[in-house]
């Protein structure tokens, strides 16, 4: 970690009952970086993101975000500090319109005036959502729902965006579109911690990565080094 680290996690442990989901996790994300977590199903990637956004409690360890110790802060306060989480499975409100989903995302952290400005910004970033603003979210395609989940997370103008499996279940062309949106976001100054099954594509747009196995970080390095690593190639790059 450096003085420019936006996020630093030290020695965190998470248990679910008797299951040790995270064991001594140490990681950092510097300002402006895209960092990817890769690992098999059940390795603890989602739990790591949920620990950071305070949706699960850590048993011990320290989480520092933008110089705030957030280890014990409630999730709604963490959102207001500019740390947003776009969860796995998208979780948009299916029976609400695109516009309603964005408004609800915005009211967590700001007032009506800023919410309407921010909605217009999302529509510039995601023209497909603009065209569908009055459509019920549940009737959007999978890729559009993913865009909505990301746009909703952006409503709080995050400095750090946690993205869980944004490409899951999407057709290849849409996957590429989602990845180009992520690159776009990065160029607007958003720092990103990404969890992805598609390790190949994810590492291609990342600065660094971490490999999680059974709740432990077993490997970390520059994304280009991980892409060339024989163990990573064999286990995750197909
Ligand atoms: P996936 O890609 O399948 O989501 P993951 O790497 O994100 O995998 P996690 O979802 O973080 O993994 O799960 C880590 C471990 O914790 C797994 O063994 C999982 O079964 C367990 N686990 C996750 N959530 C819970 C929960 N709410 N209660 C009990 N065990 C859980």
Ligand 1 centre from 22 Cα, in Å? 10
Q: What DSSP state is assigned to residue 84?
A: E
Q: Which residues line ligand 1 (CB under 6 A)?
A: 16, 19, 21, 39, 41-47
- Tens of pLDDT along 51-86? 999 999 999 999 999 999 999 999 999 999 999 999
Which residue's CA is the nearest one to ligand 1's atom 19?
Answer: 42
Which residue's CA is the nearest one to ligand 1's atom 10?
Answer: 46
Q: Is the pLDDT of residue 2 over 90?
A: no
* Cα dihedral: 48, 51, 57, 60 (round 10): 70
Is the model's pTM score more than 0.95? Answer: no
Per-residue confidence band for 162, with pLDDT thresholds at 50, 70 and 90: very high
Buried-exposed string 170-202: b where 16+ CB fall within 10 A, e elsewhere:
beeebbebbbebbeebbeeebbbbbbbbbbebb
Which backbone phi and psi does 65 adopt, to 5 degrees?
-120, 125
Which residue's CA is the nearest one to ligand 1's atom 9?
Answer: 44
Which residue's CA is the nearest one to ligand 1's atom 17?
Answer: 42
- Tens of pLDDT along 27-42? 999 999 999 999 999 9
Residues sharing a CB contact under 8 Å with residue 150, sequence separation 6 or more, in sequence order: 86, 126, 161, 163, 166, 178, 181, 185
Q: What ipTM was predicted for this assembly? A: 0.91
């Amino acid at each position: 970690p450096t003085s420019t680290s936006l996020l630093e996690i030290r020695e965190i442990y998470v248990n679910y009952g008797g299951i040790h989901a995270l064991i001594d996790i140490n990681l950092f994300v510097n300002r402006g970086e895209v960092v990817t977590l890769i690992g098999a199903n059940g390795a603890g990637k989602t739990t790591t993101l949920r620990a950071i956004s305070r949706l699960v409690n850590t048993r011990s360890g320290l989480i520092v975000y933008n110089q705030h110790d957030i280890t014990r802060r409630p999730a709604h306060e963490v959102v207001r500090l500019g740390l947003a989480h776009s969860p796995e499975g998208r979780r948009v409100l299916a029976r609400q319109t695109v516009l309603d989903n964005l408004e609800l995302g915005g009211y967590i952290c700001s007032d009506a005036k800023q919410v309407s400005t921010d909605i217009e910004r999302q529509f510039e970033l995601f023209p497909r959502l603009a065209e569908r603003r009055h459509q019920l979210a549940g009737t959007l395609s999978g890729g559009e729902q993913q865009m909505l989940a990301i746009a909703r997370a952006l409503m709080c103008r995050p400095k750090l965006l946690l993205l869980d499996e944004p490409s899951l279940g999407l057709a290849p062309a849409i996957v590429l579109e989602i990845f180009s949106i992520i690159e776009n976001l990065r160029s607007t100054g958003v720092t990103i911690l990404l969890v992805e099954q598609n390790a190949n594509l994810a590492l291609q747009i990342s600065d660094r990565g971490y490999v999680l196995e059974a709740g432990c970080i077993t490997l970390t390095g520059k994304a280009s080094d991980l892409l060339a690593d024989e163990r990573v190639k064999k286990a995750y790059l197909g």
